[in-house]
Chains A and B, each alone.
Chain A
Amino acid sequence: MNTKIYVLHFPKETGDKPIICELVKKYDVDFNILKATILPGNDGLMVLELTGHRSNVKKALEFLQNYGVKIEPISTIIRRDDSHCIQCGACTGICPTHALYLDRTDMSVLFDPDKCTGCGLCVAVCPVRAMEVALGQDIVSEA
């Protein structure tokens, strides 16, 4: 089994189609919608966690691409500016998936982009604003 988080950009024409429902029925994948902004007449954005056999996930992603959905792994849109980070650890108490965590041997703050769901809580919590989540302002705002 394979679990990965993807950022999906839906073209505005797809806003009224039950794409995720179809995806699940056809390809036998588990899904968890972590964030979604789908509004009529606008491009849609969704952060989706997919779990399934590697081949099924691959086919599911191809299915999405056929609808014109642009797919990015979450790690390409999350960034920590290491020149700003002061290694305090304030983010580690709030990160829901422990993508931001402390190495207990030396108390350094580490970031594992593969675990990140792009929730953006760290962006506002970071005292020196070292975290950047570029998901589009509709989804991750500072507040």
Chain B
Amino acid sequence: MTEKKFKVEKTYEEINARIKAGEAVVVTAEEMVGIVKEHGAEEAARKVDVVTTGTFSPMCSSGAIINFGHSNPTIKASRVWFNNVMAYAGLAAVDVYFGAAEVAEDDPLNKVFTGSFRYGGGHVIEDLVAGKKVKMRAIGYGTDCYPATEFEKEVTLADLPYAMLLNPRNCYQNYNCAINLSDKTIYTYMGTLLPKGKNANYCSAGELSPLFNDPLYKTIGMGTRIFLGGGIGYVSWQGTQHNPAVPRLDNDTPKKPAGTLMLQGDMKQMSDKWLKGISMQGYGTTLAVGVGIPIPILNEEMAAYTGVSNDDLVTQVVDYSYDYSHQVARNYGEVSYAQLNTGEIEVNGQKVRTAPLSSIVKAREIARILKEWIEKGDFLLAKPVHQIPDK
């Protein structure tokens, strides 16, 4: 394979040297749209060193790895709960993992439809990073080295020897626009969908979204340093369901859900402003995660990639009353994020009201915070040690 030749070429080392010297030019992905439009990709690549992205939305497949420290007498915990939300304890004596979608054990779920799912793993994570006390309970079967069979205590994040946010799938590169073509209201992870296609919900930060700005994962890979939940985190692998082999536009962005990222970071740096427990009516709990990823403008190709606007990004309208749940590969049209953001699209010749689930206001704020971190010289770019698959 021959390397493409570029007119502008910068290295991570050069960009980091400029960041350290306080000379790096950093702009947000929204600002980059105008810069590339006005000056072209080549000139933009000369001017700009780093583009910051951001996203803040419900992201299932998020969770926490906790080591809660040894009690006296010691316990080999086989079942553990935080505020009555069960954690998986089959890792070691006092290591557990719990996920954002785990609902509190006494929740009535959907027994009386629709369930409201007020508290789950996502809320435990929010409470912990907010510094709130969380009631922990553990039971074990007792061994010679770990004789205790139960204990209960109140813990805060500061009390825990180790707490890591570990999200097996975040930052979905594009997502479906969901509608309901049946004749009754449905309650989904994409929100409440009214019958006969009366509304459509979508969920992407569009031109601010990390993987829309690096569509073929040329700079975002294993080891990329990121903003995660208000602290510093890392991309540790491609996420579950990572599926780069989907139809793409000429600008290389996918026309439907494609790449995903596995993310991790120290929870003790994070804040409840950027990790929010979510309750989806009739569906369950999850976690809204704030993520920001910096993209080095190594050449004019990366400048062009980060210059995409909501007009240049599309997704598919998918029916969630039957097609999604029965894996029917069918869609009801392709729409751009610019169209979705107007509040109205057309489906089957009918005007449909649209609503986002992903907060653009918060995504923009994350991109701005990350820009400030880099401008201050506090945050250097990490070159990926391994690329995630692009096909």
* Chain A positions near chain B (C-beta within 8 angstroms): 86-94, 102, 104, 106-109, 121, 124-125, 127-129, 142-143
CB B15 to nearest CB in A, in angstroms, measures: 30
**Smallest CB gap from A125: residue in B:** B192
Would you mind naming 7 contact pairs between A and B with Cβ atoms under 8 Å apart?
A89-B356, A94-B191, A94-B194, A127-B58, A127-B278, A127-B288, A128-B276
Cβ A87 vs Cβ B362 within 8 A: yes
Q: Does B101 contact A (CB under 8 A)?
A: no
Cβ A86 vs Cβ B343 within 8 A: no
Instruction: Give me 12 other A-B pairs in contact (C-beta within 8 A), A89-B359, A108-B361 excluded.
Output: A86-B288, A86-B359, A89-B360, A90-B355, A90-B357, A93-B201, A94-B199, A94-B355, A107-B360, A125-B192, A128-B279, A129-B279
Contacts of A92 in B (CB 8 A): 343, 355
In the assembly, what is the distance between CA of A25 and CA of B52, in Å? 64
Contacts of B277 in A (CB 8 A): 128
Do A86 and B191 contact each other (CB < 8 Å), given the known contacts A127-B279, A127-B288, A127-B357?
A: no
Interface residues of B in 337-367 (CB under 8 A from A): 341-343, 353-362, 364
List the one stretch of B112-120, B149-157, B372-380 in contact with chain A: B112-120
Do A86 and B192 contact each other (CB < 8 Å), given the known contacts A107-B356, A128-B278?
A: no
CB B287 to nearest CB in A, in angstroms, measures: 10
Cβ A124 vs Cβ B360 within 8 A: no
Could you count the A-B residue pairs with CB atoms below 8 Å apart for me: how many are there? Answer: 82
User: Shortest 3 CB-CB distances between A and B: which pairs?
Assistant: A93-B355, A107-B360, A87-B361
In the assembly, what is the distance between CA of A93 and CA of B202, in Å? 10
Interface residues of B in 276-326 (CB under 8 A from A): 276-281, 288
Cβ B361 vs Cβ A93 within 8 A: no
Contacts of B112 in A (CB 8 A): 143
Cβ B359 vs Cβ A88 within 8 A: yes
In the assembly, what is the distance between CA of A118 and CA of B67, in Å? 46
Contacts of B288 in A (CB 8 A): 86, 88, 127-128
**Smallest CB gap from B115: residue in A:** A143
Cβ B118 vs Cβ A124 within 8 A: no
Contacts of B191 in A (CB 8 A): 90, 93-94, 125, 127
| Most chain A CB inside 10 Å of its own CB: which residue of B276, B342, B360, B364 | B360
Kindly supply a per-residue 1/0 record for chain B positions 198-241, scoring 1 wherever the CB is within 8 Å of any chain A CB and 0 otherwise: 01110000000000000000000000000000000000000000
In the assembly, what is the distance between CA of A89 and CA of B281, in Å? 15
In the assembly, what is the distance between CA of A38 and CA of B116, in Å? 27
Q: Does B56 contact A (CB under 8 A)?
A: yes
Contacts of A107 in B (CB 8 A): 341, 356, 360-361
Contacts of A106 in B (CB 8 A): 360-361, 364
CB B100 to nearest CB in A, in angstroms, measures: 12
In the assembly, what is the distance between CA of A94 and CA of B180, in Å? 13
Contacts of A124 in B (CB 8 A): 114, 116, 192, 281
**Smallest CB gap from B194: residue in A:** A94
Contacts of A127 in B (CB 8 A): 58, 191, 278-280, 288, 357
Q: Does B28 contact A (CB under 8 A)?
A: no
Contacts of B355 in A (CB 8 A): 89-94
CB B365 to nearest CB in A, in angstroms, measures: 9
